[in-house]
Copies of this chain bind each other. A is one copy, B any other.
Amino acid sequence: MPKFSPSVLRQYCYDVMTASGVDSVCAEATAEMLVDAEVTGMSTHGVSRLSIYMERIQAGIMSPDNNIRIVQEAPSALTVDAGNSLGAAAAKFTMTKCIEKARETGVCFAAVRNSNHFGTAAFYTKMAAEAGMMGLCCANLKGNVAPFGAAEPYLGTNPLSLSCPTKTRPLVTDIATSTVALGKLILAQKLGKSIPEGWALDKDGNPTTDPAEGRKGMLTPFGGPKGSGIAIMIDIASGILSGGGFGNHLTGLYEMTGPQGVGHFMGAIDVSHFTDLETFKEKVSEMSAEIKALKKAPGVQEILMPGDLEANKRAANEANGIEVEEPVYQELLKLGKPYGLSL
């Protein structure tokens, strides 16, 4: 499998986008986010997404330009219209502003409308943690998650990431608010396996263990009514507080019928405005050490804190390079070819 250093991969993604006419600031944010996902082992959100981004731009349903504008602003609040620019660019711009404003006032939250797929929510909350802040980032999406009690999809997998600084690497949780991603049903079906009850409902809303029936039906929210409530609130904050769209009115990343129209909601909470930052970091590290030292459940090798898996992958990938699956590598080559670019 071909292997690349993060910087080579990042530069290639950037070059492909800018060569095709994408604004350089938007291309830079997107390349950074895609390669950060690769480095942390979240390759489902990595460079394999570049092709659909390019396809949407070429189809005229996503803008190559930087149309990102603040439309309402208060000392600790921002509303941003992404103007159908690349989602990563809109989200990075917005979190940067949140961090600047939180430095002054203690806290800043922002809602973003008319945006696009932004990749991993963790990319943005890590920015806050690296600035000594707690971070929150979520987004609404078009998807096939049925609210609790319903037998029809309405919600997306509406991701939620939370982060905080520690003495070493940040703690970062990044979850989809569905029980599992659709990809897990696709994989089970390919492998001829059944899925655990609770992952999906068939088209009539009955729990199913058949991945094929689940794919014809819908996904469930994580934790039943609890996750359903959280996913609905994420949709409200991302879609309605931003003045944008919500629920099943949005457009999916792979639906080529028009702009996605999705929204984001994010914020930064500056620790030093609440308590001493160094003490905070020490105590979080102390808590992590205590949890990791608890007795392990049968079969568990290591108790993982939020973000442990990703941090371990980062160490390995930065040392050894990022492996890119052959079909994804071929796709990347194809994207660069019209501009004489090669990887």
Interface residues of A (CB under 8 A from B): 72, 74-77, 79, 102, 104-109, 111, 134, 146-152, 154, 162, 164, 171, 173, 175, 179, 201, 204-206, 222-223, 225-227, 229-230, 232-233, 235-237, 240-243, 246-248, 267, 269-271, 273-276, 279-280, 283-284, 287, 290-291, 294-298, 300, 302-306
With contact pairs A232-B305, A298-B205 given, residues A291 and B150 touching in the complex (Cβ less than 8 Å): yes
Distance in Å from the Cβ of A242 to the closest Cβ of chain B? 7
Complex CA gap A206/B297 in Å reads: 7
Q: Is the CB of A295 within 8 A of B150?
A: yes
In the complex, 20 of the A-B residue pairs with CB atoms within 8 angstroms, ordered by the A residue number, are A72-B273, A74-B270, A74-B273, A76-B107, A77-B270, A105-B105, A107-B108, A111-B274, A134-B237, A148-B304, A152-B294, A173-B226, A179-B223, A205-B297, A233-B306, A236-B284, A236-B287, A240-B275, A241-B271, A241-B275
For A307, give the chain B residue with the smallest CB separation.
B229
> Which of A106, A150, A294, A305 gathers most chain B CB within 10 Å?
A106
| Distance A79 CA – B233 CA, assembled complex (angstroms) | 26
Bound complex: CA of A242 vs CA of B280, how far in Å?
Answer: 9
Using known A-B contacts A106-B109, A107-B109, determine if residue A304 contacts B164 with beta carbons closer than 8 Å: no
Q: A296-B150, A303-B147 are in contact. Are A247 and B291 (CB under 8 A)?
A: yes
On whether A296 and B151 interact (CB within 8 A), knowing A76-B105, A108-B76, the answer reads: yes
With A151-B296, A298-B205, A303-B150 as known contacts, state yes or no: A274 contacts B242, CB within 8 Å. Answer: yes
